[in-house]
Structure 1
């Protein structure tokens, strides 16, 4: 019966033809049921309830402070289940204010971080596949061109060892926005890890979004985040 499940996995992904070892000590029934290859391993990839297949929603700017009966909004709204979230309040930037000037309002910026950790063994992947074959690991994300600031998005992805701390490989992306041209579109972020070496057991996926409060709340959206382990590799 175990051999039958192993054969099903091989038929599904054509692994042996790609030089992948299929050892007998793997629970192939569990692997087949979890289908860890070619699927998104992140939970709740669109916590803001939007998709990059449609334009980002346009936000009406009213310039009206919140009602005294309701607390001001400082963080984004959405369903963030599956994500570990945190907020970093940034100091006010007073560098452009001349001495003696009276300032009624100043923008207060914050980073809103969302992180997930993927346990590759728990998802159904096996040691020989990760260590010897070293499949491509594709990362994708889409963030809104919100124009709040020249820096509104960061991505930090780490391939971690079995201790959950040692970094084997990492990718960081910190773009600078062009504030002169307003197009309000989704921007795609992608990266493929390959040839990263043996020992990878976890993936830490963290992105940061900048929001602003000045009379009203203004946020940056993200959507369709994904971590996909491929049934192929681009490095020999």
Structure 2
């Protein structure tokens, strides 16, 4: 038998009406639509620039609740929401130490920060690691640029989607610890505080079960001008032991969600 030959089949999409082409193109990854499909010809550029295509794509790829919420947003930028995905992901980078201390600005006191495997699993976490503090306050901060992450001025100022923050902390069974969190919504100058949240939970005592505790808050009706989220937390142990016996912090998150008007 002779060697089989592969045959490349090319399909000419131009004869199809625009509504069919929009459905077909909605299955193409967002970045490929912008980088490649849009450059095919003027007709395809017109289709890729169509809000209908991006709305169809969001409807197909999002769950029903966020899509219904997006329908209530005036002048919804469907293309930006699809390409940047600001409503479907954690905007905090390196939330549990998988990349060491990258993306965090740290203040290292005592023996500073380290990353260790969780001593007890945190259910639902994709990464079972934690940032671990020392015998004096260890502090770290990350500033999230909402515009760079895909949001836009009009939706932040007029619609004001909910900005949800969450953090998890635990202690070692043989050593007590304390933990604090501060989150600020900042204006474009990164200085003016528009809204803020602070929490100082009760210390975890020595001889505990090492379970994780969640701190969470939802910013809403915060007014116009928000452009950044400043996420700061810190911890230390209560026995002042050399090494890393203090608060174990992981799964920090900032998420943006639609709401009902």
TM-score of the aligned structures, taking structure 1 as reference length: 0.68
SS in 2 for 1:222: strand
User: Conserved in 2, the CA contact under 8 Å of 1:140 and 1:191?
Assistant: yes
Give the C-alpha shift of residue 6 in structure 1.
4.6
> Corresponding residue for 2:55?
7
Given the alignment of the two structures, is residue 109 of structure 1 paired with residue 135 of structure 2, yes or no? yes
User: Conserved in 2, the CA contact under 8 Å of 1:158 and 1:167?
Assistant: yes
Give the C-alpha shift of residue 127 in structure 1.
1.1
> Corresponding residue for 2:130?
none
SS in 1 for 2:135: strand
Query: Which of 67, 82, 86 pairs up with 2:103?
Result: 82
Task: Tell me how far apart the structure 1 counterparts of residues 91 and 104 of structure 2 sit (CA, whole Å).
Answer: 13
Change (3 A) 1:186 1:10: same
Change (3 A) 1:109 1:232: same
**128-137 or 211-220: bigger deviation:** 211-220
Give the C-alpha shift of residue 213 in structure 1.
5.0
Q: How does 1:152-231 map to 2 (within 5 A)?
A: 152-177=178-203, 179=205, 182-211=208-237, 213-214=240-241, 216-231=243-258
Give the C-alpha shift of residue 221 in structure 1.
1.0
Higher CA-based Rg: 2
SS in 1 for 2:137: strand
Greater RCO, CA 8 A, separation 6+:
1
Task: Tell me how far apart the structure 2 counterparts of residues 124 and 9 of structure 1 sit (CA, whole Å).
Answer: 17
Q: Give the count of matched residue pairs.
A: 183
User: Conserved in 1, the CA contact under 8 Å of 2:135 and 2:243?
Assistant: no
Give the C-alpha shift of residue 162 in structure 1.
0.8
User: Conserved in 1, the CA contact under 8 Å of 2:135 and 2:244?
Assistant: no
Q: Stretches of 4+ moved more than 4 A in 1?
A: none
Task: Tell me how far apart the structure 1 counterparts of residues 215 and 190 of structure 2 sit (CA, whole Å).
Answer: 25
User: Conserved in 2, the CA contact under 8 Å of 1:10 and 1:16?
Assistant: no
TM-score of the aligned structures, taking structure 2 as reference length: 0.62
> Corresponding residue for 2:155?
129
Unpaired runs of at least 5, structure 2:
1-47, 111-133
Higher helix share: 2
SS in 2 for 1:139: strand
Unpaired runs of at least 5, structure 1:
50-77, 90-107
SS in 2 for 1:199: coil
Give the C-alpha shift of residue 218 in structure 1.
1.9
Change (3 A) 1:184 1:228: same
User: Conserved in 1, the CA contact under 8 Å of 2:183 and 2:232?
Assistant: yes
Give the C-alpha shift of residue 113 in structure 1.
1.1
Give the C-alpha shift of residue 217 in structure 1.
4.1
Query: Which of 79, 83, 86 pairs up with 1:33?
Result: 83
